[in-house]
Structure 1
Amino acid sequence: MIRLIVNLAMLVIGIAGFCAGIYFRNVRRDVGECLAPQSPPAPSAAAGRDYSAELFARPATAAPATLPPPDLAHMPPVKEWNQAYTRLRFYGWLERSNLDPEKRTRVEAILQSHAATVRSLDMEFRGDGRHEHRRKLTGQLTDAMRPVLDGGELAGFQQNLALEEVDRVMNDLGAALYSQEAPLTPEQSRRLTAVICESRTPADRAAPVLELSATDWDAVLEKAALFLSSQQLEAVRALATQRQFMLRFEAISGFSYRRALPGL
């Protein structure tokens, strides 16, 4: 009986040792494969375009400074983001325009096909050539819309392009005042938008896109005090302080908090 138990124990130990040997041999093989230098797998035809090669591949004989920038605007994640941004960007204008369903469908299709241009237009730029750059982009979008929209609709579209930054900050201000139970009336909103647009130099008023950075906030506060309540005026003052802080931050750091992605 004792001999049988000893034999069974030896058999179990032998099986366990055999299994452990196989396990550790596989571990050594897997670790070796992980540590060994590997070439990236070649993309299959079904996988589509290999965008990682555009972003990260660097030929050994070429200096990085001589390589062209990657075409990020056509990468699926960036393209989808631009299209989602464009839908949200023009939603309010489309609702206010009351276009018939067929025309609205055509307009939305045109906007989606020019989503990268829209996104590039709405980015904040610095430099002497920014107005010419934006005038070119607004011209491209206007020309694309011209066969679809009539004169009044096209003028509204162009105004929407020019006032994007102002409309965005007015939306933020309206939301902040609504949460404080001091909402702007439609008339107050219209007058404040006009004051922000006018409180800048004639050259800045003629720009294809009105820039908040060119706004004379002291003039805005002075004129807005005539038709806003004290609580509403304080919210505009807080907005002006925030914008002026961001401009000083960008001037000191050289970093734009809304800088466009390279290649857009």
Structure 2
Amino acid sequence: MEEFVKKKAPKITTDLRRDYIEVPKIIRKTSGIVINGKRIRSLIFTTDIAIIMNNDADAVIAVYPFTPHPAIINGITTVASMPVVAGVGGGLTHGHRSTNIALFAEAHGCIGVVLNSPTPLSTIKEVNEIVDVPIILTVVSEFTDIQEKIDAGVDIVNISGAANTANIVREVRQAFPELPIIATGGPTIESIQQTIEAGANAITYTPPSNGELFSKKMKIYRKREQQKAEELDTEQQ
């Protein structure tokens, strides 16, 4: 049998896309989660349309602190060039509304739907009966009864426990060796590494804000203008 040799992939970046956001390369060390044939290792956590169009993550996780709305899902799926998992409720929004939004998300190409931690079991079961995409449940505490969520229809957990995330991942992984786990990696390479070592299959990455990115670019523009002015002043002397 011919031995498989891993080759370096050619990289092409067009002139106008050189400033795209790169997720930390360490995330490639995860196993990933294969959803209907697509391996997802990195998920960029944003609903900013401009950022969604300019990054190299494997998928977008579009959750936000407001009630889910079809118009937001429509806008994100229209511009995203990668798979999208969309928030469909859990806190203020649940029951039939969550189910309807989940069906809308599936119809617009989302590969998964996200329910937040407070989601009642009845809502998980109702969504599970309607959609044919994985249900992802956000877990914020080690005290969550994971088994009852799985029994209700959850396929993947998304662990978001702030500084305690890696510890929660470790506990969940020990209790559920085969459960697909997405987790927040934190702000540093070290914290991402810890989360991966704890057992996360995929990592969510929070990019810099539009304002932060623009601020860096404006500093570069100002420096260029200053250099031009200094060069002109030198020529005139």
Scaled to the shorter chain, the TM-score interval is under 0.3
Larger-Rg structure: 1
Higher RCO (C-alpha 8 Å, min separation 6): 1
Name whichever structure is richer in helix by fraction.
Answer: 1
State the TM-score, normalized to the length of structure 2.
0.24
State the TM-score, normalized to the length of structure 1.
0.22
